[in-house]
Amino acid sequence: MKIIAFNGSPRKEWNTATLLKKALEGAASKGAGTELIHLYDLDYKGCISCFACKEKGGKSYGRCVINDVLKPVFKRVEESDAVIFGSPIYLGSITGEMQSFMERLVFPYLTYTNPPQSLFPKKIPTGFIYTMGVTEKVMNEVGYKQRFAITENFLTRIFGSSETLLSFDTYQFDDYSKYVATRFDPEAKLKRRKEVFSKDCQKAFKIGARFAVGNKNQE
């Protein structure tokens, strides 16, 4: 059993990375091998719209033709038993690094047939962890959930299943006094990090544990 996680945040020790590490700890607690890849360590670009992955009889049908650092990464994804993605929300969406990665990973497996089918070689569970500085109320008001649902739909269609973990109102800085951020209450943020973010970590741990035993309902 192997579970791989992708960190779409430039930070390796903050909210998104912490939750991904907790998910992998959960997987490891059930005996799974784990790997965490920080996307900001890799040099790549998004889909170049060459459509080689859709070419009839083409050598790269169902595979991204670009020969860069992501090629061996995609191979490891195919060899994995579950995949977990994580990204903070920047300007209402996932980071550019994660978006480019998702384009390259997902699109080649999606066929242009009617109905669309998946060329991914097996069914595996996937998860997506989102962290955001806004509250749940603001998230609902601005329509983030619709965007998250689109991603979950694509992951389910390609890989077989997907679930989403949302972490709201996250602690953004190690010292709020250093930044112009008067709209936030540092004490309230810190209190929430201690009381609520710890619960999000527990949820992430359980996701990893469930994926490791192949049972989405396992607690």
| Its pTM surpasses 0.85 | yes
The answer to whether position 94 is within a domain reads: yes
The answer to whether position 218 is within a domain reads: no
The chain-wide mean pLDDT, for the chain, equals 92
The answer to whether position 60 is within a domain reads: yes
Strand partners, 167: 131
Indicate the number of domains in the chain: 1
Looking at the chain, list the stretches that DSSP marks H as alpha helix, in order from N- to C-terminal side.
Answer: 15-29, 70-79, 96-106, 136-142, 144-159, 186-192, 198-213
With a pLDDT cut of 90, the percent of the chain lying above it is 78
- Three-class SS state of 79: helix
CB atoms within 10 A of CB 6: 24
The answer to whether position 175 is within a domain reads: yes
Please give the residue range of the domain that contains residue 201: 2-213
CA distance 152 to 150: 5
The answer to whether position 195 is within a domain reads: yes
Least Cα distance to 190 among 203, 177, 174, 211 occurs for 174
- pLDDT band of residue 214 (cuts 50, 70, 90) is confident
pLDDT at 193: 87
82-90 and 2-7 as β-strands: parallel, antiparallel, unpaired?
parallel
pLDDT at 186: 86
The answer to whether position 42 is within a domain reads: yes
CB 24 within 8 A of CB 205: no
The answer to whether position 219 is within a domain reads: no
Kindly report, residue by residue over 95-120, the tens digit of the pLDDT.
Answer: 999 999 999 999 999 999 999 899 99
Kindly report, residue by residue over 20-46, the tens digit of the pLDDT.
Answer: 999 999 999 999 999 999 999 999 999
pLDDT at 217: 42
> Burial, 141: exposed, middle or buried (Cβ in 10 Å; 0-12, 13-18, 19+)?
exposed
The answer to whether position 31 is within a domain reads: yes
- pLDDT band of residue 218 (cuts 50, 70, 90) is very low
Start-to-end CA distance of the chain, whole Å, equals 18
pLDDT at 216: 47
CA distance 35 to 4: 5
> Residue 7 phi/psi, 5° resolution?
-95, 115
Number of H helices, E strands in the chain: 7, 6
CATH of the domain at 154: 3.40.50.360
Least confident of 64-73, 185-194, 209-218: 209-218
Kindly report, residue by residue over 45-86, the tens digit of the pLDDT.
Answer: 999 999 999 999 889 999 999 999 999 999 999 999 999 999
- pLDDT band of residue 215 (cuts 50, 70, 90) is low
> Burial, 203: exposed, middle or buried (Cβ in 10 Å; 0-12, 13-18, 19+)?
middle
Kindly report, residue by residue over 130-167, the tens digit of the pLDDT.
Answer: 999 888 899 899 889 889 999 999 999 999 999 999 99
- Residues 6 or more apart whose CB falls under 8 angstroms from that of 115 comprise none
